[in-house]
Amino acid sequence: MLDRITNILVVGIGGQGVMTAAEMLARTALSQGYDVKKTEVAGMAQRGGVVSSHIRFGPKVYSPQIDPGEADLLIGFEAAEALRWLPYLRPTGVAMVNTLRIAPPVVSVGLYDYPVDPIGELAAFGVEVHSFDAGAIADQLGNPKLVNTIMLGAISDHLPFPADALKDCIMEGFRAYKPKLAEINAQAFAAGREAGRV
């Protein structure tokens, strides 16, 4: 049993499954006996807007908010969003990043420039960065909606509970509501685990 609080930050663009991934992580932590707090910030929750979710779990958690420099895991569904949230990651933390590049509305309206090399900039800070194209893996498996499960598989070896606990929680959901998708999501989780180890 974990005696300290684990802080996980999930960030991306609306429509990518950020909220669902956060919910799966929170449910799994609850199933493992942890006290869990979660918050979701959807700047523009509709497809295309930036979205973030804080998940904190441990023996007793009083606030869902992760302070800058305190995240153990940064899960970036989109490369520039991962870079934008880098100040929240602790120096010993891990960034798991989908190499997908989507210019959020603040870029398309000219308020910000999209970084030239967001993954390179992340790595330059000296934190542990794992990056891969989750969309390409999903396409190889035949379903672009698998990105969410792939990202969860990728971070499963960095959690304070067994990877199978997270996988079982995901599979439970699919077996209950979309049984036809259970097997392909099991494959996506395994593919994500492989990708996250590179």
Domains along the chain with CATH numbers: 6-196 (3.40.920.10)
pLDDT surpasses 70 at 2: no
Count CA atoms closer than 13 A to 83's CA, side-chain side: 20
**DSSP annotation string for 109-158:** TTSSPPPS-HHHHHHHTT-EEEEE-HHHHHHHHT-GGGHHHHHHHHHGGG
Q: Which two tokens stand for residue 86?
A: 């880098």
Q: How confident is the model at residue 121 (pLDDT cuts 50, 70, 90)?
A: very high
19: CB partners within 8 A, 6+ apart: 40, 42, 51, 53
Does the pTM exceed 0.85?
yes
Q: How confident is the model at residue 156 (pLDDT cuts 50, 70, 90)?
A: very high
pLDDT surpasses 60 at 155: yes
Residue 96 one-letter amino acid: M
pLDDT surpasses 70 at 44: no
Average pLDDT over residues 84-97: 96
Q: What is the pLDDT of residue 14?
A: 81
Average pLDDT over residues 145-156: 96
Residues in the chain: 198
Q: What is the pLDDT of residue 46?
A: 54
- How far is C-alpha 3 from the chain's CA centre? 23
Sign for the CA dihedral angle at 60, 169, 134, 129 comes to positive
Instruction: Give the residue from 74, 68, 69, 42 showing the smallest Cα distance to 55.
Output: 74
pLDDT surpasses 70 at 55: yes
State the Cα–Cα distance between residues 30 and 44, nearest whole angstrom: 28
Q: What is the pLDDT of residue 42?
A: 60
Average pLDDT over residues 48-60: 90
DSSP state letter for 76: E
